[in-house]
Structure 1
């Protein structure tokens, strides 16, 4: 693959303000993608060979000489820094970051709108995540699925990257943990859907709203835990103060979602705590109709049913 020079590269930052849905409207659910063509990039031996032979120097004279590399991108929109991270060429990545301290180059997004920070989390390189954050990489930039780097850490269960991001972004943490992706899921929803109880605990300790409703169907983390039939997660959410009487957009409590399912442990946990008048299903609707209205992404499946087709 050839790396070509481009001018006036159009960088598109995705921030909290321009992705928040208007009141009363649902966000369309889209498929999450966090791969950045990672596998295909790693298979390109010729590019990898050329990249490993490159050297980046730190002297002022050489820095000016190498200035054009900031505008060079591949056909996938990856910059030299993206490539260094993808190929796990750590020293090259460190040198590029050093030369680009607080430079807009660190916000560059590829064709999947992933920054270097997204890729550092995907490739599980927490030390690189820390270097990028300290150099000025924006943790609030979202990819083409609306995921920030923290969303990805929660989805992948990366405790190391999660810790680095939250420790280095304390001023922004309240906004980051509540920010929804394009599926309407915040970081707590992502951790709950994927069953990472330790991350759920950490997010609640950081101030995440345990009763926050995802924007596709209004389910809380407790609703999601019931859908996933995860009794350990249900128990922990209850211990952390989850509201058992919270209704989703269809008017269903988490206990309502136990109808037709076989986990008696979950059913008994919720029955005892749910208000008596909320234990019966609404007369005008059924759980099945509510389930049909739910849309979700490819890897966020409930009860082996795939929605949104």
Structure 2
């Protein structure tokens, strides 16, 4: 089994009820937003127009007067977006070289994707490296709140991950701490998808191993238990994860082993969890919820609808 992917390769982001262990599908980030935005014939037409533009030598150009930078599709994609989407590396390289430290490199399409986002999505590490050296901003987020590094973490893109973390040393602490709009930071994403090598690398780079995702306060260790990923549980514990961390509902990682099949995970966490935190939180809340429902029912028992109670 690949060291990078310890859990099932088709694990998706999800929402989970930490109390009852129910998994719900998550309306997740759509990462292929512009990939089919232009038909091949139309793209070839734009390529022909680019060739007619006859790019002048870099040192003699005035960036603001370059007409090809103003071209956009109905999806907001620039010619650079399109060159990356259609894997036209030579054209992409020319445009990047003619746009060093130019805001054009950070142009966002209608889904707020920059060329850097698309280069990571399309697994084009050479373009990623060239964009970073040309001065693109790695902190920009798409419409789902993902930076390019979030996408590399989610996709398990080792080469793109390495390029981004090496080039963004100053911005890296901020990027690692930033959650996307689903409440997940980079460490949560690699944990959810079971990329053990990236989990290890992120902790070495300073990612907070106990960071709580914003949905209900699960740490990476909670997520590992949710997914029944024994190897990830062991790795996180070895890296210093807090086994006594509690979700917003008061549940430790050990609590999430109840009703789960992997007895080894349960035993390991039982041994490490503070004895005062081993018992499940009192379930009186469920009873009180039922009482609240019955109270609500009686509250409106005199409500009339078309003459009937």
Per the shorter chain, which TM-score range? 0.7 to 0.9
Q: 1:41 aligned to 2:40?
A: no
Structure 1: stretches of 5+ with no match in the other structure = 1-28, 288-309
SS in 2 for 1:92: helix
Match of 2:262 in 1: 263
The 8 Å contact of residues 85 and 116 in structure 1, kept in 2 or not, is answered as: yes
Shift in Å, 1:215: 0.8
SS in 2 for 1:41: coil
Match of 1:159 in 2: 158
**Mapping of residues 178-217 of structure 1, within 5 Å:** 178-217=177-216
Please report the RMSD computed on the Cα atoms of aligned residues, expressed in angstroms. 2.0
SS in 2 for 1:114: coil
Q: Which has the larger radius of gyration?
A: 2
Shift in Å, 1:61: 9.8
Q: 1:85 aligned to 2:100?
A: no
Match of 2:55 in 1: 57
Structure 2: stretches of 5+ with no match in the other structure = 1-25, 287-309
The 8 Å contact of residues 37 and 75 in structure 2, kept in 1 or not, is answered as: no
Match of 2:243 in 1: 244
Distance in 2 (CA, whole Å) between partners of 1:61 and 1:223 is 54
**Mapping of residues 217-228 of structure 1, within 5 Å:** 217-228=216-227
Question: What CA deviation, in whole Å up to 9, does each residue of 1:169-210 have, x standing for no partner?
Answer: 111111111111111111000110111111000000000000
Question: What CA deviation, in whole Å up to 9, does each residue of 1:267-306 have, x standing for no partner?
Answer: 112111111111110113689xxxxxxxxxxxxxxxxxxx
The 8 Å contact of residues 146 and 180 in structure 2, kept in 1 or not, is answered as: yes
Change (3 A) 1:114 1:186: same
Count, aligned residues? 257
The 8 Å contact of residues 79 and 110 in structure 1, kept in 2 or not, is answered as: yes
Distance in 2 (CA, whole Å) between partners of 1:179 and 1:227 is 22
Shift in Å, 1:127: 1.1
Distance in 2 (CA, whole Å) between partners of 1:90 and 1:253 is 49
Please report the TM-score for the alignment, with normalisation by the length of structure 2.
0.79
